[in-house]
Amino acid sequence: MDTTSDNLIMFIVLTICVTLSSMFFPHKLLNPGNRLFRAKPWESGGEIYQRLFKVRIWKAALPELSDFFKKLFPKKKIKAFDSDYLQSYITESCRAELTHFCIIGMTFLFPLWAGFSVSLIIIYISVLLNLPFIVIQRYNRPRIQRLLLRSKNHSFSGIKAEDLSF
């Protein structure tokens, strides 16, 4: 492929392919206990992302795939507090994070057919577009995990989903 526009089209096509493929990721790959998904001590339970990037301000403004495909699990708002729902939310956050990492990783293949400068542009665009979604997952998942732990230990009577901002 010779032009930047051809490579951008290829990037879009590959992004769609990775995203569709992510629907078939096995659940054991999406285990929040896996090293990739575990919160690191330096992340302070996800709060580092609020301190550095003010994630609460902008995360709701970004689109989510379930905004376009209603059959997918929505992650913008907590819809229930039962353990099964919260566990599904955590699993889907792992799927989203892995998908965005795969999209970024896939762009490192571009030097195989694209020139150096075009490859850098594609990689830059990929990181710029996908990193915010990874940050959202890294911010939300520890908070949802704490909520899951509390749901197993306590009742949530009197708390409404809209009272919590995730």
- Are 74 and 66 in contact, with CB atoms under 8 Å apart? yes
Distance, first Cα to last Cα, the chain: 42
pLDDT recorded at residue 161: 45
Q: DSSP character for 42?
A: G
Question: Of all residues in the chain, what percent are helix, strand and coil, respectively (each to 5)?
Answer: 70, 0, 30
Stated pTM of the model: 0.87
Instruction: Return the structure tokens found at 153.
Output: 């230990």
pLDDT score, position 154: 60
Residue type for position 79: K
The residue among 88 and 153 whose pLDDT is bigger is 88
Query: Is the CB of residue 100 less than 8 Å from the CB of residue 130?
Result: yes
Q: Are the C-beta atoms of residues 134 and 97 closer than 8 Å to each other?
A: yes
**Which residues contact residue 53 at a Cβ distance below 8 angstroms, ignoring those fewer than 6 apart?**
135
Distance CA(128)–CA(120), nearest Å, equals 12
The mean pLDDT of 80-96, rounded to a whole number, is: 93
137-160 pLDDT, tens per residue? 999 999 999 999 887 776 554 444
